Structure 1
Amino acid sequence: MRVVTISATYGTAGSQIGPAVAELLGVPFVDRAIPSAVAEELGCTLEEALAHDDRAEHGLGRLFAGAVRLPTVTFGGVDMYVPGAMPLAPEEFVRRTERMLTEMARNQGGVFLGRAGAVVLAGHPGALHVRLDAPLRRRIRQTATLGELSEREARRIIEDNDRARAAYVRHFYRADPGDPCQYHLVLDSTTIPVRTCVELIVKAAESLD
């Protein structure tokens, strides 16, 4: 079963490239299923789980970035309190997420977007680890065009997301998500067309047989 992890900075079309790669490889695209599965296992709501997830719009990473201020938020094993929710330690959410990623990779394969997949599945046999990145200026232009936003607003969104996702990986894994040594393939999807990026990733994944 093929396994591909994709780490994508905001504005590099990770949410388009991931599903397309999964379809061509004949494996599931695993993104939104992760917080849903963790929420079910923990017995909390999906909204509570998303509050701890690095891919969610208002996920845990926003706390590190300072974009969201929730009451009584601390780290280092202390519970994080979300309004209306039962206490849920961020470390527990991340631990369950790691287990979900590992089990899904082993049992069904898949294309995994975000959640430090390259670190969590670094030892998985035959896994391909991919990084999508590009200069900030090109990501701003692409985000503004696709989202019909001003470049100023696109820059704000990108910088918030970049800080949040990097904080998640650094805090829980003491790793730099931008370190190319973690990946087999690094692509600039603002210059290389999305379709070509998909084909390159599929070819690379198939070559690991």
Structure 2
Amino acid sequence: MAVITIAREFGAGGKTLGTKVADKLGYTLIDEEIVEMVAKEANVSPDWVDSIAKETGSEGFLPRLIKKIGPYRKGYVGIAMEKNPGYIDGDLYISILHNIIPKIASQDNVIIIGRGGQYILSDHPNTYHFLMIAKLEHRITFMMENYNLNRKQAQIVVDKQDKRRLNLYRYFAKTDYNHPKLYHMVFNMDKVRMEEAVNTVVQLASGVSAS
């Protein structure tokens, strides 16, 4: 049994990789479901959680909050121990991720897309961390081909998500999110076909399961 985390530059195909690997291994893919889990933990609506997550990529509430009060007000432990807080902000969002992602991983046979899994589960046993990267043009083309977008739409989406990713990791107080030492493998999708990446992840995860 294994846990897989997939970090990615948006448009490099992280969810596609996760979906294909999950299908082959019979694993559970966890992506947007985390929004529901965070909402339940914070006792707020999923829409509120989603709005907080989205603002990590804009010059809105969350970046202003970071500049004003620093990365964490109470620390992970203090915030995570609050019972049914009935609100959500950037601090609580990140703190709850640190609380629920290990719980998800404890079930084994799961694939977690993004949300700092490579940091939160850095010491979790039987866990493989993968990073997917690609040149901007490749990522724009991928979005056009797989999500029925025109070029302008695809570029807007990729640019916006790149900013969200950057600001999310700033909120984690991390700047090394693309460093290869964090991962078991880095897939440069300009040079690797999706099926090659899928087969590689399946082979590694199967090796863990067989041990």
Question: One fold, TM greater than 0.5?
Answer: yes
Q: Unpaired segments of 5 or more residues in structure 2?
A: 74-85
Deviations 1:62-83 (A, max 9, x none): 23xx3xx4599523357xxxxx
User: What is the total number of aligned residue pairs between the two structures?
Assistant: 193
- Give the alignment of 1:60-209 within 5 angstroms: 60-63=55-58, 66=59, 69=60, 74-75=65-66, 76=69, 77=72, 87-208=87-208, 209=211
Please state which structure has a larger fraction of its residues in helix. Answer: 2
- CA distance in 2 between counterparts of 1:71 and 1:165 reads 13
Distance of aligned partners of 1:121 and 1:133 in 2 relative to their CA distance in 1, 3 Å threshold: same
Gaps of 5+ in 1: 54-58, 79-85
After TM superposition, what 4+ stretches of structure 1 lie above 6 angstroms from structure 2?
none
Question: Would you say the 8 A contact 1:3–1:126 is kept in 2?
Answer: yes
For residue 57 of structure 2, give the secondary structure of its aligned residue in structure 1. helix
Measured after TM superposition, the shift of residue 21 of structure 1 is: 1.2
The normalised TM-score by structure 2 is 0.81
1:200 Cα deviation after fit: 1.0
Shift of 1:15: 1.5
Identity of aligned residues (%): 22
Shift of residue 129, structure 1, vs aligned partner: 0.3
The answer to which of 153-162 and 31-40 deviates more is: 153-162
- 1:135 Cα shift? 1.1
Structure 1 length normalisation: TM-score? 0.82
Tell me: higher relative CO, structure 1 or 2? Use CA pairs within 8 A at least 6 residues apart. Answer: 2
